[in-house]
Amino acid sequence: MIALTLASSMLVACGSDSDSEVVAQTGQFSFAVSDAPVDAADEVWACFHAIELLGNSAGKQVFTIGEDSNTIASNDVCVDSDGEVIANTRGINLMNFTGSTAEDLISGVEVPAGDYSQLRLVMADGSYVQVGDQRIPLSVPSNELKFDGITVGAGGETAYTAEFDLRQALVNPVGQDQYFLKPRGVRLVNNLTVGHIEGSMAEALLIENSCTVAPADTGTAVASVYLYPGVDHIVADLADVGGSEAVEPYAVSAVYFDGAVNYQFELGYVSAGDYTLGYTCDVADDPEVDDDISLLGHQTVTVVDNGEVTTVVIE
């Protein structure tokens, strides 16, 4: 997951010949990334170049990785078609930042306080997906991700996270020799208004429904959970990723065996509120296709804010 933190502060300048104070209101900007993992890939490397804030009277604010203060250091992961390292880029394996973990792209950058109509995450060439010994190019439309506006308050701190739900965002169309990262599976959330879900699924339930149990490879998904906004839904209205039913999933996670006795899942950076959590033995869900997913059951989950963790047990 990519997390974005906006910390605003109030600067006071005092004139030597006046009792009045001139107050300049600014804010500090921080950005990080996080991910909900996808099963088909071993690694998903995304190349980040800059963060932009637009639509404020102070003008566009641009923060280039490895160049501007308080941005994350650049690395040599992102290379062009000639194998040359692309300057001012940071390659991040999104699979390393799942659940409530995140990587800061910017921390404490000072910006003018106020409303911004749009936040843009500028990508670079060189992104790729590693599947076994294959390195497959990863393309981002227009090499940027656009998010709705944010507000940076004066004298306080505002933190945002861009959550990459790769089960919804990462697609590999038939006949294409590359992956695509689609914006529909990436959401920007205010860290003060989100929480996290950590859950487990009973082995008896998995056995009863002929799900996979105790796989030798703990990276093999044994089940899936779907989180839907709201409660009291008709089951027939609950869609899979890319489905045509009325209620689309807010987030999706696989359930994994921990190598001992537990079957666990995580859903990070979920906006506070009431949700319906559905679960199934089906682990293959093509985001480009309306798959036939059979939910074994569902239950209500309430997520609280301020980064609190909600524990869910499926029995």
Q: Which of 89, 29, 23 is nearest to 60 (CA)?
A: 29
94 burial class (0-12, 13-18, 19+ CB within 10 angstroms)? Answer: buried
Q: Domain 196-314 has what CATH class?
A: mainly beta
Going by pLDDT thresholds of 50, 70 and 90, the confidence category of residue 2 is low
Please tell me the distance from the alpha carbon of residue 102 to that of residue 268, in angstroms, as a whole number. Answer: 10
Please tell me the distance from the alpha carbon of residue 164 to that of residue 195, in angstroms, as a whole number. Answer: 16
Please tell me the distance from the alpha carbon of residue 238 to that of residue 298, in angstroms, as a whole number. Answer: 10
Q: Which of 185, 199, 192 is nearest to 1 (CA)?
A: 185
Query: Per residue, what are the HEC states of 92-155?
Result: EEHHHCECCCCEEEEEEEEEECEEEEEEEEEECCCCEEEECCEEEEEECHHHEEEEEEEEECCC
Range picked from 11-15, 128-132, 190-194, 300-304 for highest mean pLDDT: 300-304
Q: Which of 30, 36, 98 is nearest to 63 (CA)?
A: 30
**Among all chains, which residue has been given the structure tokens 């991910």?**
35
CATH 2.60.40 residue ranges of the chain are 196-314
pLDDT of residue 190: 87
Q: Which residues contact 130 (CB under 8 A, 6 or more apart)?
A: 41, 42, 43, 44, 45, 136
236: left (phi over 0), alpha (psi -120 to 50) or beta: alpha
Q: Can you give the pTM of this predicted structure?
A: 0.85
Please tell me the distance from the alpha carbon of residue 229 to that of residue 238, in angstroms, as a whole number. Answer: 10
Question: Would the pLDDT of 31 be above 70?
Answer: no
Average pLDDT (41-60) is 92
Q: Which of 283, 272, 276 is nearest to 220 (CA)?
A: 283
Q: What is the pLDDT of residues 274-303, one digit of tens each?
A: 999 999 999 988 887 888 889 999 999 999
pLDDT of residue 38: 59
101-105, 156-160, 249-253: range with lowest mean pLDDT: 156-160
CB 263 within 8 A of CB 206: yes
CB 306 within 8 A of CB 276: no
Q: What is the pLDDT of residues 127-173, one digit of tens each?
A: 999 999 999 999 998 999 999 998 887 776 778 889 998 888 888 88
For CA atoms 84, 85, 88, 91, the dihedral sign is: positive
Q: Give the three-state DSSP class for 7.
A: strand
Going by pLDDT thresholds of 50, 70 and 90, the confidence category of residue 248 is very high
pLDDT of residue 1: 55
Instruction: Please name every residue paired with 48 in a beta bridge, in sequence order, or none if there are none.
Output: 90, 123
Task: Determine the residue type at 15.
Answer: G
